[in-house]
Chain A
Amino acid sequence: MNMAKFISHLDLMRCFTRAINRSGMPVVFSQGFNPHMKMTFALPLPVGVSGLREAADIVFEDGVGDDEIKERLNENLPPDIRVTEVGDVGAKASDIVCAEYGVVLKTDDSAELNSIKDFFGRDEVIAMKLTKKKIEKPINIMEYIRAWEIEGNDSESIRLRLVLDAGGERNLKPDVVVAELAKACGKTDADSADICRREIFCRTREDGILERFY
């Protein structure tokens, strides 16, 4: 069980700050009255969702090698949070357009496969979304779903792949889709579903074809 997915975005930033402090590696601080580490996470992960390829931009001072950063961060991060790659990323957070999620729905009823297909076939599913100003607003979530697929099922669960709009412009959290899906299916409990972000995609190429963030 990976509990780190229950850490909020702010807590995750603090966790990295302290891991960097413990590592003793020199990082660049912002100027000004209240200096802070130059650190940005490309796309905040919703509480309760795990992430396999997340991205953070941290500015280290010259002379700290990529391998050293990876090794020393991993020594100083809690076991559930791992650095898998360190390097220069061309894309910016503002280039992000969508993200892919894996969803495992716990259900012993294979008839729900049909309910899922029906659900994604609908033109309109209205759900409440919290705007940046913390106001609830009804939206049609179907407009935010770019792709979906049933990856497989067994006697206990159904595995799905979802690609949803993500980033600063249009963003839909996967738990909103899963909650609506669970309502439509009837027998599945949304809270027992396992949701994982697998990949973040951005648009950096001139021909408009989406690329992995890194």
Chain B
Amino acid sequence: MYKSKFEACLKRVQKPARYIGNEFNSVHKEKTSDMMSFAFCFPDVYEVGMSHLGMKILYHMLNERSDTVCERVFAPWDDMEREMNNAGIPLLSMESCTPVREFDIVGFTLQYEMSYSNVVNMLRLAEIPLRTSERREGDPFICCGGPCAYHAEPLAELVDFFILGEGEEVNNEVMDAYKVWKGSGEGREKFLETIVKIQGVYVPSFYDVEYNEDNTIKSFTPNREGVPARVKKRIVKDLDNTYIPEKLIVPFMETVHDRIMLEVFRGCIRGCRFCQAGYIYRPVRERSVDRLVKTAENAIAATGYEEMSMSSLSTSDYTCLEELTNRLLDITVDKRINLSLPSLRVDNFSMELMEKVQKVKKSGLTFAPEAGTQRLRDVINKNVTEADLLRTSKIAFGGGYNRMKLYFMLGLPTETDEDVLGIGELANKVIDSFYTLPPEERRGRSVSVTVSTSLFVPKPHTPFQWEPQNTIAELERKASMLSRSIKNRKIIYNWHSSDVSFLEAVFAKGDRRLGEVLISACELGCKFDGWTDFFDFDRWLHAFEIHGIDPRFYAYRKISYDEILPWDYADVGVSKDFMISEHEKAYRGETTSSCREKCSACGAAQFGGGVCFE
């Protein structure tokens, strides 16, 4: 009924292709009354959401079920939101233009904290009651998954249930339970009481939270029988024998990652202490070369993409990387498919590998030393040395590259001005390494290095979860000090706003009292906070003020080990003792071996698979 009005809206907006759907391999199913419907929502714009691998997996997996229709929903850009609003159109699914509020389950994937305002806004546009307590029979259930589900207390009052971990198995169990419940005629709560027994399902309304006078958490306890004190995440033990979509949707418009993403493994053996992904995806589980090559072949045939990337947290740690690269090149070169290798680590980068991926097309080189001095790199357990970086850059410059990007973080725990200035010094040494090459070995007459700093955000489920963030003023002082210290015109320095990083820390470490702040912020117009053209810090501060909440409490406080953390409900499989020991080692400047060198007994072996049993 909304289709013709919707079409008129499309004539008035930028990039209408964001909203048209009907892409090759998109799934269109007739929904009959005995079927279940799942709206898979990505709280950002189409070209961002369509770049996300997890959504592709779960969308196709749910649609494999004959009893379920899964359709996609993205956040409309603000021009489209305005047009839909003027035309009286609520948020619609992409495949069938069905109002999102008519779906049985509405699921959001939470990839970054700054998308929370879009979750609220999308619920509002869908005309779904925002708070769980306001939803009645006939309203959909709202669920969330993705990495932020491990610390999503700010959304606890808005979300009926969270799925912790990898959705390949849990989602099917939840749908099975929904089917039984739908036929039973029982109330909403009964469904939640059933699924809370599934490992990986967290129902926030089944827990009561009490606070101390100093605003820290006094107690966090289940309020009924059969609810676990902590929810253990779910993982897929054997990645070769799980659902891997091959008939991927091929968007019409260019998306951020417009290519086949071949997921080589999950998890990371490294254990960088600032990196949440390095802990929550443990243990490392690899796919076999045979399985990957078969997947790649099928995906190439089914999509026609001209580019493929191997995507994992640290692809160069794949144990059979050389064999895999060779076999992928065998099937890609003749078809003119460009194979790219992102997220290389400096310490195992080899010229040979670089030349292989260059066979088709040369792409830029990016490295992330993260900190400017060896001392600080040891603190964060980024096991990369200056010698490694300079050796690699020399090889790269000799091999024809003359541009390099270096990523660092400012505001890391224990950071001194010397560490900050070390970033500029390291960049200078990289430049110098170019000139130590004999002129006949240099390609190109000059060299340039781009230095980017992001700001450290202490993340839950990392050894730095107890750390305070540097204040905005301190981070800005450090960035401008670094900027002034860089005199070499061959170095370009970029840095990002600290306001967003502050809010990211607040919502990463926040508790459920922030739910009302989110709702107020949304009412004030906050959305697309990850986009600089939308982010409005003053509006956010206003929203905090309305509820008398000081955001600095969440971001700037040094937390003691015995405090109850808002994200303690989530058991990612890594013990708190291990986190404490890693935190203490950081202060002693001691590094921890990678999982392949030596097991550090973090606790992830309990899942019974992956690197722990190699």
Interface assignment of A170: CB less than 8 Å from any CB of chain B:
no
B258's nearest neighbour on chain A, judged by CB, is: A14
Residue B253 contacts which of A8, A22, A191 (CB distance < 8 angstroms)?
Answer: A8
Q: Do A1 and B304 touch across chains, with their CB atoms under 8 A apart?
A: no
Identify which of residues 16-55 in chain A touch chain B, using a CB-to-CB cut-off of 8 Å. 17-22, 24, 29, 35, 47-48
A21's nearest neighbour on chain B, judged by CB, is: B304
Q: Do A80 and B22 touch across chains, with their CB atoms under 8 A apart?
A: yes
Per-residue 0/1 for B298-342: is the Cβ within 8 Å of any A Cβ (1 yes, 0 no)? 001111111000000000000000000000000000011000000
- CB proximity of A187 to chain B, nearest CB, Å: 15
Alpha-carbon gap, A6 to B301, bound state (A): 26
Interface assignment of B252: CB less than 8 Å from any CB of chain A:
yes
- B302 cross-chain contacts in A, Cβ below 8 A: 22
Residue B23 contacts which of A48, A78, A189 (CB distance < 8 angstroms)?
Answer: A78
- B300 cross-chain contacts in A, Cβ below 8 A: 21
Alpha-carbon gap, A80 to B20, bound state (A): 11
Q: Do A6 and B17 touch across chains, with their CB atoms under 8 A apart?
A: yes
Q: Do A1 and B3 touch across chains, with their CB atoms under 8 A apart?
A: yes
Identify which of residues 333-357 in chain B touch chain A, using a CB-to-CB cut-off of 8 Å. 335-336
Q: Do A3 and B22 touch across chains, with their CB atoms under 8 A apart?
A: yes
Given A35-B336, A192-B4, do A18 and B304 touch, yes or no (CB 8 Å)?
Answer: yes
- CB proximity of B85 to chain A, nearest CB, Å: 15
- A160 cross-chain contacts in B, Cβ below 8 A: none
A79's nearest neighbour on chain B, judged by CB, is: B22
Interface assignment of A116: CB less than 8 Å from any CB of chain B:
no
Interface assignment of A77: CB less than 8 Å from any CB of chain B:
yes
Q: Do B16 and A6 touch across chains, with their CB atoms under 8 A apart?
A: yes
Interface assignment of A69: CB less than 8 Å from any CB of chain B:
no
- B9, B23, B24, B301 — most chain A CB neighbours (10 Å): B24
Interface assignment of A7: CB less than 8 Å from any CB of chain B:
yes
Q: Do A19 and B336 touch across chains, with their CB atoms under 8 A apart?
A: no
- B304 cross-chain contacts in A, Cβ below 8 A: 17-22, 76
Interface assignment of B250: CB less than 8 Å from any CB of chain A:
yes
Interface assignment of A11: CB less than 8 Å from any CB of chain B:
yes
- A145 cross-chain contacts in B, Cβ below 8 A: none
- A3 cross-chain contacts in B, Cβ below 8 A: 7, 10, 20-22
Q: Do B306 and A4 touch across chains, with their CB atoms under 8 A apart?
A: no
A12's nearest neighbour on chain B, judged by CB, is: B252
Q: Do A76 and B24 touch across chains, with their CB atoms under 8 A apart?
A: yes
Interface assignment of B12: CB less than 8 Å from any CB of chain A:
yes
Given A48-B16, A79-B22, do A22 and B301 touch, yes or no (CB 8 Å)?
Answer: yes
Interface assignment of B8: CB less than 8 Å from any CB of chain A:
yes
Q: Do B336 and A7 touch across chains, with their CB atoms under 8 A apart?
A: no
- CB proximity of B23 to chain A, nearest CB, Å: 6
Given A1-B4, A29-B336, A192-B8, do A7 and B17 touch, yes or no (CB 8 Å)?
Answer: yes
Alpha-carbon gap, A169 to B307, bound state (A): 37
Secondary structure type dominating chain A contacts: helix
Q: Do B303 and A22 touch across chains, with their CB atoms under 8 A apart?
A: yes
Q: Do A15 and B305 touch across chains, with their CB atoms under 8 A apart?
A: no
Interface size class of B (residues with CB under 8 A): 20 to 34
Alpha-carbon gap, A22 to B306, bound state (A): 10
- CB proximity of A140 to chain B, nearest CB, Å: 24
- CB proximity of A1 to chain B, nearest CB, Å: 5
Identify which of residues 187-201 in chain A touch chain B, using a CB-to-CB cut-off of 8 Å. 189-192
- B19 cross-chain contacts in A, Cβ below 8 A: 6
Q: Do A21 and B305 touch across chains, with their CB atoms under 8 A apart?
A: yes
Q: Do A19 and B253 touch across chains, with their CB atoms under 8 A apart?
A: no
Interface assignment of B598: CB less than 8 Å from any CB of chain A:
no
- A6 cross-chain contacts in B, Cβ below 8 A: 10, 16-17, 19-20
How many chain A residues touch B (CB < 8 A): the figure is 30
Alpha-carbon gap, A178 to B300, bound state (A): 42
Q: How many A-B residue pairs have CB under 8 A?
A: 76
Alpha-carbon gap, A186 to B22, bound state (A): 34
Alpha-carbon gap, A48 to B43, bound state (A): 26
- B4 cross-chain contacts in A, Cβ below 8 A: 1, 192
Q: Do A48 and B21 touch across chains, with their CB atoms under 8 A apart?
A: no
Alpha-carbon gap, A79 to B305, bound state (A): 18
Residue A191 contacts which of B11, B301, B305, B336 (CB distance < 8 angstroms)?
Answer: B11
Alpha-carbon gap, A22 to B24, bound state (A): 11
A195's nearest neighbour on chain B, judged by CB, is: B11
- A29 cross-chain contacts in B, Cβ below 8 A: 336
Alpha-carbon gap, A8 to B8, bound state (A): 17
Q: Do B21 and A17 touch across chains, with their CB atoms under 8 A apart?
A: no
Q: Do B303 and A18 touch across chains, with their CB atoms under 8 A apart?
A: yes
Residue B252 contacts which of A7, A48, A191 (CB distance < 8 angstroms)?
Answer: A7
Q: Do B10 and A18 touch across chains, with their CB atoms under 8 A apart?
A: no
Q: Do A189 and B7 touch across chains, with their CB atoms under 8 A apart?
A: no
Per-residue 0/1 for A103-127: is the Cβ within 8 Å of any B Cβ (1 yes, 0 no)? 0000000000000000000000000
Q: Do A78 and B306 touch across chains, with their CB atoms under 8 A apart?
A: no
- A189 cross-chain contacts in B, Cβ below 8 A: 8
Alpha-carbon gap, A191 to B7, bound state (A): 8
- CB proximity of A196 to chain B, nearest CB, Å: 13
- B12 cross-chain contacts in A, Cβ below 8 A: 191
Q: Do B20 and A4 touch across chains, with their CB atoms under 8 A apart?
A: yes
Q: Do A8 and B22 touch across chains, with their CB atoms under 8 A apart?
A: no
Alpha-carbon gap, A78 to B335, bound state (A): 22
- A24 cross-chain contacts in B, Cβ below 8 A: 301
A189's nearest neighbour on chain B, judged by CB, is: B8
A47's nearest neighbour on chain B, judged by CB, is: B16
Q: Do A191 and B8 touch across chains, with their CB atoms under 8 A apart?
A: yes
A18's nearest neighbour on chain B, judged by CB, is: B304
Per-residue 0/1 for B481-506: is the Cβ within 8 Å of any A Cβ (1 yes, 0 no)? 00000000000000000000000000
Alpha-carbon gap, A12 to B252, bound state (A): 7
- CB proximity of B50 to chain A, nearest CB, Å: 13
Alpha-carbon gap, A11 to B19, bound state (A): 14
Alpha-carbon gap, A27 to B241, bound state (A): 37
Residue A18 contacts which of B20, B22, B24, B254 (CB distance < 8 angstroms)?
Answer: B24
Alpha-carbon gap, A15 to B166, bound state (A): 32
Per-residue 0/1 for B237-262: is the Cβ within 8 Å of any A Cβ (1 yes, 0 no)? 00000000000001011100000000
- B8 cross-chain contacts in A, Cβ below 8 A: 189, 191-192
- B306 cross-chain contacts in A, Cβ below 8 A: 17-18, 21
Alpha-carbon gap, A14 to B303, bound state (A): 12
Residue A21 contacts which of B3, B23, B254, B335 (CB distance < 8 angstroms)?
Answer: B335
Per-residue 0/1 for B10-33: is the Cβ within 8 Å of any A Cβ (1 yes, 0 no)? 111000110111111000000000
Q: Do A48 and B20 touch across chains, with their CB atoms under 8 A apart?
A: no
Q: Do B253 and A4 touch across chains, with their CB atoms under 8 A apart?
A: no
- A1 cross-chain contacts in B, Cβ below 8 A: 3-4, 7
Alpha-carbon gap, A19 to B303, bound state (A): 8
- A47 cross-chain contacts in B, Cβ below 8 A: 16
Alpha-carbon gap, A12 to B17, bound state (A): 11
A23's nearest neighbour on chain B, judged by CB, is: B304
Alpha-carbon gap, A15 to B336, bound state (A): 17
Identify which of residues 132-176 in chain A touch chain B, using a CB-to-CB cut-off of 8 Å. none
Alpha-carbon gap, A15 to B304, bound state (A): 9
- A78 cross-chain contacts in B, Cβ below 8 A: 22-24, 252
**A-B CB proximity, top 3 nearest:** A21-B304, A18-B304, A3-B20
Q: Could you show 7 A-B contacts with beta carbons less than 8 Å apart?
A: A4-B22, A6-B20, A8-B253, A22-B24, A29-B336, A80-B22, A190-B11
Extra inter-chain contacts (10) besides given A6-B20, A8-B253, A21-B306, CB under 8 Å: A1-B3, A3-B22, A6-B16, A8-B17, A18-B303, A22-B304, A48-B10, A78-B23, A191-B9, A191-B11
